[in-house]
């Protein structure tokens, strides 16, 4: 077990790293492509894209990617009428198809939350 001062320093360093990782930075080319393609395809009433790549930089597969943009992991929340009548798998396939080029160029993971406006309203009312 670390002495109290060493633990305090370790916690402070971790906090500083977290704060630095959460600073607002301009979107990179992959994030811009995701935004543009999903907007064109789905005409969403709500679209939130969160770059979570910094949480995965220590993974061996991400280090091996080398000279890429470093944009590898995203969480996407999208609300669109285009999802009406489609189940979750069909919705996700729509998005994966639209982003095929990004996956081929190093996009590694996409966490999706897809809803119709009615589903979003029901959830907001709960």
Split into its structural domains, the chain has a count of: 1
Residue 71 lies in a domain: yes
Contact 72, 50 (CB under 8 A): no
User: Per the domain annotation, does 63 fall within a domain?
Assistant: yes
User: Does any domain span residue 7?
Assistant: no
Q: What percent of the chain has pLDDT above 70?
A: 68
Q: State the pTM of this model.
A: 0.71
Does residue 67 lie in a domain region?
yes
Which of 72, 68, 62, 64 has its CA nearest to residue 99? 72
The confidence score (pLDDT) of residue 11 equals: 47
Residue 64 and residue 56 in contact, taking contact as beta carbons nearer than 8 Å: no
6 domain residue, yes or no: no
Q: Is residue 42 part of a domain?
A: yes
For 75-105, how does the pLDDT look when each residue is reduced to its tens digit (9 = 90+)?
999 999 999 999 999 999 999 999 999 999 8
Altogether, the residues listed in the chain come to a count of 126
Q: Residue 98 domain-assigned?
A: yes
Whether 107 is in a domain gets the answer yes
> How high does pLDDT run on average in the chain?
81
Listed ranges 19-23, 24-28, 41-45, 107-111; the one with the highest mean pLDDT = 41-45
Phi, psi (rounded to 5 degrees) for 30: -70, -45
Domain that holds residue 49: 26-125
pLDDT in tens, 39-52: 999 999 999 999 88
Q: pLDDT-based confidence at 66, cuts 50/70/90?
A: very low
- CATH number for the domain that contains residue 78: 3.30.300.90
């Amino acid at each position: 077990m670390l002495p109290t001062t060493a633990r305090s320093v370790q916690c402070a360093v971790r906090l500083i790293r977290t704060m630095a990782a959460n600073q607002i930075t301009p979107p990179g080319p992959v994030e811009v492509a995701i935004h543009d393609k999903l907007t064109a395809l789905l005409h969403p009433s709500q679209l939130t894209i969160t770059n979570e790549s910094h949480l995965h930089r220590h993974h061996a597969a991400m280090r091996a990617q080398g000279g890429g943009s470093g944009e590898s992991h995203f969480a996407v929340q999208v609300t669109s009428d285009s999802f009406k009548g489609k189940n979750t798998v069909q919705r996700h396939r729509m998005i994966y198809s639209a982003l095929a080029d990004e996956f081929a160029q190093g996009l590694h993971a996409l966490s999706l939350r897809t809803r119709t406006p009615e589903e979003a309203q029901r959830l907001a009312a709960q």
